[in-house]
């Protein structure tokens, strides 16, 4: 293998580049990214960066562990260059300016973009938060007394609410479900954490749907809800989730769904092409479904497995850690590993949910399957390690049984 092209020069992309070099790939490594910046970290964008406690320099993902010198990964960096298309059969990436990059292997790491509300497109006081540029636009709006309305009750909305409150902003969160975060955490535990908003002076409006927007002179001034309530706004953040950046792959020959469909090592249906990070939907063997995992740890850990699959085409399945994320809200560190379902039994292992300091373990069929921690990092980590260890043993047993099939058919979607 002489050339590896990595499309998307952010967390999953640089993690794949590091893994390739660490696993002995000595050929040409091309990193293609449509943002003008070197890879940067997104989690602080809704936290310390938005709060004015960090500069862009603090966000840089390149570190001394990449080695010494100006080009430690010995990569060709094509930044500010969008990939327009891929021919998966010949592994040719075509850039917006028509440049073609023919590679022996391709890593797709194009991440996701923030969903928007078409009704609010182009209004000057309406924001989303995905990129450094977005955060730089939003930050100056968060001044004491400003009325911020956050549409969406997910993690990014909750984190911005928390950051904005600390800056003296008046915050309203509008959420379509009965309780924010019920999908990732299950309704029961999500309910305990939703209280954080109200305790911290945020108005939380659940089960809401927006009927109309009031706008004039290029800005939105308020929202009318279906129950007749009017919510005035100086600033609106639309935080209603993200979609995978896969439009450029239409016609590539790759199977697409909610993301690039991959096997449990990141292989797509095209030999020599893998997908990692927020744009990739790896097969989750527990549920039999392809799932995108939009968490920092997935974009950091999984690229090493996908690179192994590229460099060793017959590679045996390797254990995959449970999906893990953290979120910082109102001085509470929330950590979660696994997949929650509403039917899971939840036991409080330690602490007190009412005090927002606890560890809760989710059981399915009597087996622990997921763990949630709030301000209990040590005990949470112990549980997470235990669950990952149990999973590794199960994966190795399955892989050993399935090995002849995998070796004969590396792409088995």
Applying CB under 6 A, which residues contact ligand FAD?
7-8, 10-13, 32-35, 42-43, 45-46, 82-83, 109-112, 129-130, 156, 245, 248, 277-278, 294-297, 299, 325-327
Residue 111 Cβ vs ligand FAD, minimum distance, rounded to whole Å = 2
How many other C-beta atoms are found inside a 10 Å radius of the C-beta of residue 195?
A: 14
Cβ neighbors of 108 (< 8 A, separation 6 or more) are 7, 8, 86, 249, 254, 260, 268, 273, 274, 275, 276, 279, 280
The owner of tokens 């699959």 is: 309
* Rounded (10°) angle between helices 296-311 and 11-22: 40
Q: Minimal distance in Å, beta carbon 160 to ligand FAD?
A: 8
Q: How far is the CB of 332 from ligand FAD (least distance, A)?
A: 12
Judged by DSSP in three states, 155 sits in helix
Please say which residue, 8 or 264, places its beta carbon nearer to ligand FAD: 8
**120 vs 293, which CB is nearer to ligand FAD?**
293
- Name the residue with tokens 């129950």: 227
- In whole angstroms, give the CA distance from residue 159 to residue 336: 16
Taking the CA atoms of 73, 77, 80 and 84 in sequence, report the sign of the dihedral they define: negative
* Closest CA relative to residue 233, chosen from 213, 257, 258: 213
Nearest to 239 by CA among 45, 73, 374: 45
Closer CB to ligand FAD, 11 or 196, in the complex: 11
In the bound complex, what is the minimum distance in angstroms from residue 248's beta carbon to ligand FAD? Answer: 4
Residue 263 or 278 having the CB closest to ligand FAD? 278
Nearer to ligand FAD, 159 or 344 (CB): 159
CA distance 271 to 276: 15
**Edge to edge, what strands does the sheet with 100-102 contain?**
83-87, 92-95, 100-102
Closest contact distance (angstroms) between CB of 35 and ligand FAD is 4
Q: Which is nearer to ligand FAD, 154 or 231 (CB)?
A: 154
Our CB check for ligand FAD shows the closer of 310 and 406 to be: 310
Kindly tell me which of 46 and 215 has the beta carbon lying closer to ligand FAD. Answer: 46
Pair of tokens at residue 230: 């009017």
- Residue 155, token pair as written in the block: 């993690």
Say if CB 183 and CB 323 are below 8 A apart: no
CB of 366 to ligand FAD, least distance (A): 29
CB of 10 to ligand FAD, least distance (A): 3
Q: How many CB atoms lie within 10 A of CB 101?
A: 21
Q: How far is the CB of 211 from ligand FAD (least distance, A)?
A: 28
CA distance 385 to 362: 15
Q: Smallest distance, Å, CB 314 to ligand FAD?
A: 26
Q: Please, which residue, 231 or 298, has the CB nearer to ligand FAD?
A: 298
């Amino acid at each position: 293998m002489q050339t590896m092209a990595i499309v998307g020069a952010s967390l999953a992309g640089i993690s794949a580049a590091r893994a390739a070099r660490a696993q002995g790939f000595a050929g040409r490594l091309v990193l293609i990214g449509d943002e003008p910046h070197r890879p940067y970290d997104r989690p602080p964008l809704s936290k310390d960066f938005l709060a004015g406690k960090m500069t862009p320099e603090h966000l840089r993902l390149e570190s001394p562990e990449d080695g010494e010198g100006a080009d430690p990964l010995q990569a060709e960096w094509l930044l500010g260059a969008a990939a327009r298309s891929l021919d998966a059969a010949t592994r040719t990436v075509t850039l917006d300016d028509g440049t073609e990059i023919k590679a022996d292997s391709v890593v797709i790491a194009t991440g996701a973009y923030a969903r928007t509300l078409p009704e609010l497109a182009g209004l000057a006081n309406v924001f989303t938060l995905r990129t450094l540029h977005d955060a730089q636009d939003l930050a100056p709006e968060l001044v004491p007394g400003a009325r911020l309305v956050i549409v969406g009750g997910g993690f990014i909305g909750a984190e911005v609410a928390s950051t904005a409150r600390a800056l003296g902003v008046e915050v309203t969160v509008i959420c379509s479900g009965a309780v924010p975060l019920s999908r990732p955490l299950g309704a029961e535990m999500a309910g305990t954490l939703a209280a954080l908003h109200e305790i911290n002076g945020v108005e939380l409006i659940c089960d809401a749907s927006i009927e109309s927007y009031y706008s004039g002179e290029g800005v939105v001034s308020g929202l009318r809800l279906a129950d007749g309530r009017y919510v005035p706004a100086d600033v609106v953040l639309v935080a209603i989730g993200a979609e995978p950046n896969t439009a450029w792959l239409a016609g590539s020959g790759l199977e697409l769904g909610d993301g690039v469909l991959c096997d449990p090592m990141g292989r797509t249906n095209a030999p020599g092409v893998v997908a990692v990070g927020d744009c990739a939907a790896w097969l989750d063997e527990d549920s039999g479904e392809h799932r995108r995992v939009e968490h920092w740890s997935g974009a950091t850990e999984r690229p090493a497995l996908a690179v192994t699959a590229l460099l060793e085409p017959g590679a045996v399945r390797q254990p995959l850690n449970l999906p893990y994320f953290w979120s910082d809200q109102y001085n509470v560190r929330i950590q979660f590993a696994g997949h929650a379902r509403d039917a899971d039994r939840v036991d409080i292992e330690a602490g007190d949910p009412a005090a927002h300091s606890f560890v809760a373990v989710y059981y399915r069929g009597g087996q622990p399957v997921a763990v949630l921690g709030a301000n209990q990092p040590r005990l949470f980590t112990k549980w997470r390690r235990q669950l990952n260890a149990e999973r590794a043993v199960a994966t190795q047993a399955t892989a050993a049984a399935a090995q002849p099939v995998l070796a004969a058919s590396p792409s088995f979607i």
